[in-house]
A and B are shown apart, each in its own frame.
Chain A
Amino acid sequence: MQSPAIVIEGVKKHFGGVRALSDFNLKVEKGTIHAIVGENGAGKSTLMKILSGIYTRDAGRILLDGEEVHFETPQQSREKGVGIVHQELALSPDLSVAENIFLDDLGQGTPLVDWKSINTRAGQLLKSFGFPIDPRRRTGDLTVAYQQMVEITKSLAKEVNILILDEPTAVLTAPEIDLLFDNLRRLKAKGVTILYISHRLEEIFRIADGITVVKDGVTICDLDPKICSENDIITAMVGRELKSLFPEKLPPRDEPLFEIRHLTRRGVIEDINLTVRKGEIVGLAGLIGSGRTEIAECIFGLARYQQGEMVKNGRKVSVAHPADAVAQGIGLVPENRKEQGAVLTMGIDANMTMSRLGGVSRLGIIRHGHEQTLTQKLREQLRIKLGKLSDPVMSLSGGNQQKVVLAKWLNVGCDFLVFDEPTRGVDVGAKSEIYNIIHRLAEEGKGLLVISSELPEVIGLCHRVYVMADGHVAGELAGDELSEERIMSLAIPKRSIQ
């Protein structure tokens, strides 16, 4: 009998006093796609790093193809045919796509960069995966989704037996995900074993042959996606049953809170009209690059626009800098939490108060007592799990980090909030809490604009959805009209259907 591709027995790893993995067991047959699910901090990333040779394990055994391995360096892991696509993009923005893909062998065996060869080979690879990217482009100019595709291509440029993907679809839209899955199935047919780490359960059902649930560094159980339900996984993951992710929608009020009229930003968005009423949660759906984030940038004063106007509470507002937006009571929970949302190395308290330090200071001098009281209140209000308020935001899980970003805007007293992918990289438990918070804000009469690539999220959360395509509003859906099919049919640019 053939030995399994991956066997992990009783692997342990701790950092100082913290146990990241205390008893990890896994068995994956060759040529299958196996999903690993668990909340953030459950130990998935640590396991990945052990398999890729970044960390060494403290105890336990790892066998690849029946042979015990002990990786000390990433090189050793790669030589054994382990390929990894990390959640955090690890590309050099100033290099071309081809250079990034062949970064460890730019000369193709010679000491000089073999431009012709790497460009052709990168082009072929990208094409074979169906990624429409020019290998000569500067990587930093690509959108995050395209960069992700480059990352995947890079890991597949070498011969791999085991491919590990950590949240590969976090930034991809539905058609891009389909494409990725086609490629994964093709690899699987070739005998590649795939470890798939994701929060998105519906994807796991589509692609995985087996599921392992991890909690607190221990493998809880193995499930068969053919017979188990989404609820089974969630129950195993969080140790309790979640009724529904989305709270019941309450009717919005009639008064418009925020309106955009004829907004045009040359070459990006054209003649955008949208309205958000008080107490309304409005979705902004569409493919990556359809202009959703670009609208948010205009609203928040991060980009200039040529035509159009924005009206808040019946008054025209002009926003040339994020500071203007904040002064108008507009907040943005940005797409990239780690780079844009929070100052990770700064304290949780300092992050919460940073947008309105005036409230806790007098004559430019911070009153620490006031700050502590205020942040303690915000912490309780949003139920943020933390050690001390002065700990760096970095020490929190993704969901709790996102709550800190939210706390910042609640402290400012914003009545119009834009969320750009609010639950990206956030586990199920925290997701449901964030949805509840958004609903509570709506209940208080605030207006909310939610940009999301996750269709179930858009449908479950929003009263009304604008669908963007190619820089235009392609349609508006509300109530019963909201379905994945209708959103997608509007979102796919008409000219690309042939």
Chain B
Amino acid sequence: MTNQSQGKETTMTEIASGQGVPVAAQASRWSRERVVALLLDQSTLIVFVAMLVVAMLLTDRFYTFENFTNIMRQCVPLGVVSLGLLFVILTGGIDLSVGSLMAIVSVVVALAIPSYGLFGALILGLLTGTFFGAISGALVAYFRIAPFIATLAVMTIARGAGLIISKGQPEFINDEGFNDFGIASFLGLPTTVYVLVLCFAVALFLYRKTVFGRRVISIGSNEIATRFAGIRVERYKFGVYLISGFACAVAGIIASTRTGVGSPILAIGFELDAIAAVVVGGASLAGGRGRVFNTIIGALILSVISNVMNLLNIPGYHQQVVKGIIIVLAVLLESLKLRLSSRS
């Protein structure tokens, strides 16, 4: 498990088991090693804070209340999707269908509101996302198709299905309550932010406190040993795609509350941002390693990058290049971290 300051703990164990003698420096509370370990442990957060400082130096339009609410609002769909995706990635899988699922959910909700009402439409939207998640999950867990391929297939199927039912046209939503939700504020924060906070709390609870979370980490760390422990690995692998599908539905709904449109071409390429957020948050694509809090920070980092570049009027094409470079740097930092902690 990715416990806090793992590097330091390993050292302590070896000392405790009599394999070595501690050097004097180890004893002092704020020794260099410990500070370095702490900094490495919180590297995602540190990168984020550094980014806020840099943003302030680059433009004076960054530190305004309006801009902050703007960033938060933008960050919500990415954050929600990333949290769902984190569980998939923790098992060593991947979900490429997230963007397509957001799109089809937004279309389903938009089309369903006139006949089923807002509440019915939302339920239908959530069911749609979960249903596609179930397809991915079944393909991966029970038909043993590689997650990359299975979710690639579901990605194109869902995108196509969205285009079919909307006839390729964006569907305008005429529901005031729905559209207000995306732009309204509550207690000074955008209402949608509360959805993200709720998703974060649920994800953290699942990850830390439940049998499910334990299984997910165990499967990602060593699927064979988990199976050898008599655990029905398939169920949990199925489950994580279900969660991811549900999270996409929530994100798709939130995205359309902001625009007031159900769009079949919503969130094209969104899977890359979501994967980037999880990875920038320090998760390993090999599974078993990743944290809920850092995933949110990862999503915030990506949102801040876009925001700052927009404020600086950097054109979209350039933004993509910069984003790519930042992802590479984040992953490099992560692997450097691993190497340093295994050395000490």
Whether A206 is near chain B, meaning CB under 8 Å from some CB there, is no
Contact between A341 and B232 (Cβ–Cβ < 8 Å)?
no
Interface string of B17-37 (1 = CB under 8 A from A): 111111101100000010000
Query: Across the two chains, which residue of chain B brings its CB closest to A408?
Result: B229
B13/A386 in contact, CB under 8 A? yes
With A15-B343, A17-B22, A216-B19 known as contacts, the answer to whether A340 contacts B225 (CB < 8 A) is yes
When the two chains form their complex, are residues B229 and A361 in contact, meaning their CB atoms are under 8 A apart? no
The minimal Cβ–Cβ distance linking B9 to chain A, given in whole angstroms, is: 6
The interface residues of chain A lying within 8 Å CB-to-CB of B19 are 18-20, 41, 216
The reply to whether A17 and B230 contact each other, CB–CB distance below 8 Å, is: no
Which residues of A sit under 8 angstroms from B20, Cβ to Cβ?
A: 14-15, 17-20, 217
Quick one: which of A326, A343, A391 contacts B13, CB cutoff 8 A? A391
**How far, in whole Å, are A23 and B248 apart by their CA atoms in the complex?**
59
A342 to chain B minimum Cβ distance, whole angstroms, is 6
B14 touches A18 (CB 8 A): yes
Residues of B within 8 A of A19 (CB): 19-21
Cβ contact within 8 Å between A339 and B227: no
Q: Which residue of A lies closest to B16 (CB)?
A: A387
In the complex, what residues of B have CB within 8 A of residue A396's CB?
13, 17
Does A123 count as interface, using CB distance less than 8 angstroms?
no
Known contacts A17-B15, A387-B12, A390-B3; A322/B212 CB under 8 A: no
With A366-B209, A387-B13 in contact, is A216–B18 under 8 Å at CB?
A: yes
Does B166 count as interface, using CB distance less than 8 angstroms? no
Q: Report the minimum CB–CB distance from B273 to chain A (whole Å).
A: 28
User: Pick the contact of B221 from A16, A327, A344 — CB < 8 Å?
Assistant: A344
- A322 CA to B210 CA in the complex, in Å? 22
Question: With A and B bound together, what is the CA distance between A365 and B211 in angstroms?
Answer: 6
Note all chain A residues with C-beta closer than 8 A to B343. 15-16
User: What residues of A have a CB within 8 angstroms of the CB of B289 in the complex?
Assistant: 345
CB distance from B343 to the nearest CB of A (A): 7
| Known contacts A16-B343, A323-B230, A390-B3; A343 and B218 CB within 8 A of each other | yes
Q: Does A388 contact B (CB under 8 A)?
A: yes
Contact in complex: A357, B211 (CB < 8 Å): yes
Which chain A residue lies CB-closest to B226?
A343
Is the CB–CB distance between B10 and A354 below 8 Å?
Answer: no
- The closest CB in chain A to the CB of B231 belongs to A323
B128 to chain A, nearest CB (A): 26
The reply on B6 being an interface residue by CB < 8 A is: yes
Q: Is A388 a contact partner of B17 (Cβ separation < 8 A)?
A: no
Q: Does B224 contact A (CB under 8 A)?
A: yes
Residues 186-222 of B, flagged 1 when their CB comes within 8 A of A and 0 if not, give 0000000000000000000000011110110110011
Q: How large is the interface on B (under 10, 10 to 19, 20 to 34, 35 or more residues)?
A: 35 or more
Q: How far is the CA of A300 from the CA of B3 in the complex (A)?
A: 32
CA–CA, A394 and B11, complex, Å: 12
The answer to whether B1 has its CB under 8 Å from any CB of chain A is yes
Are B10 and A355 interface neighbours, CB within 8 A? no
Residues of A with C-beta under 8 A to B3 = 347, 390
A316-369 residues at the B interface, CB under 8 angstroms: 321-323, 325-327, 332, 334, 339-347, 350, 354-355, 357-358, 361, 364-366
**List of B residues within 8 angstroms of A355 by Cβ:** 229-231
**List of B residues within 8 angstroms of A120 by Cβ:** none
- In the bound complex, CA of A325 to CA of B232 (Å): 12
* B214 and A322 contacting across the interface, CB-CB below 8 Å: no
Binding site for A on B (CB under 8 A): 1, 3, 6, 9-23, 25-26, 33, 209-212, 214-215, 217-218, 221-222, 224-232, 288-289, 343-344
A-B pairs, 9 with minimum CB distance: A326-B230, A18-B20, A387-B13, A387-B16, A16-B344, A395-B13, A19-B20, A322-B230, A343-B222
The contact sample of 29 A-B pairs, CB cut-off 8 A, is: A14-B20, A15-B20, A16-B26, A17-B33, A325-B230, A326-B230, A334-B228, A340-B228, A341-B225, A342-B222, A343-B221, A343-B225, A344-B221, A345-B1, A355-B229, A357-B211, A361-B210, A361-B211, A365-B210, A366-B211, A386-B16, A387-B14, A388-B9, A390-B3, A391-B9, A391-B10, A395-B10, A396-B13, A408-B229
Q: A15-B343, A355-B229 are in contact. List 17 more A-B contacts (CB 8 A).
A: A15-B344, A18-B15, A22-B21, A325-B230, A326-B229, A326-B230, A340-B224, A340-B225, A342-B225, A344-B222, A345-B289, A354-B229, A387-B12, A387-B17, A392-B10, A395-B10, A396-B13
